[in-house]
Amino acid sequence: MVNGTGHKPPAPFDELRAGPRPSQNDINPVASPVWNRWDWIVLAAVTALAAALRLYQLGELPPGFQFDEAFNAIDAKQVLAGHFPLFLPANGGREALYTYWQATVGSILGVDVYSLRLSSALAGLLTVPASYLLLRRLLTQQSRYVAALPA
């Protein structure tokens, strides 16, 4: 509501905020809705690098079948056999969503070390473009390219 002077009345507790209030001239939309060529190049390069790091020697490193992978394999095989629990009592009461994902990948490739690790690698790989989209909305153009590297 605007009073007779043409100014909005202050919101409650405005004076308690730390720091100066930004003027309308200081507010700059960070993300352009239009993707430029560099956005696509950075997204493709970071995703390719993330895929290479996640998929390199996936079935061999670390060597052997780790104990948690063994529990996950047992649970994934039970899901493929038709058991659909909400929690997995044999695996410390874990929630089952990740096991359903591993069973889905295992139904295509077979339940083994590679498919169990691949399900983790794919989930991690999908977070890279999702993180870039978030960074693109939150950061300026130069800083989003730098921030995408740790992905």
What percent of the chain has a predicted confidence (pLDDT) above 70? 72
pLDDT tens digits, one per residue of 44-77:
999 999 999 999 999 888 888 888 888 999 999 9
In which residue ranges of the chain is pLDDT below 50?
23-28
Q: What does the alpha-carbon distance between residue 90 and residue 25 come to, in Å, rounded to a whole number?
A: 59
Angle at 21 between CA 16 and CA 26, to 5 degrees: 165
DSSP annotation of 80 reads: H
On whether the CB atoms of residues 129 and 47 are closer than 8 A, the answer is yes
Global pTM exceeds 0.75: no
Residue that is written with structure tokens 């169990």 in the block: 116
What's the pLDDT at 108? 96
What's the pLDDT at 10? 60
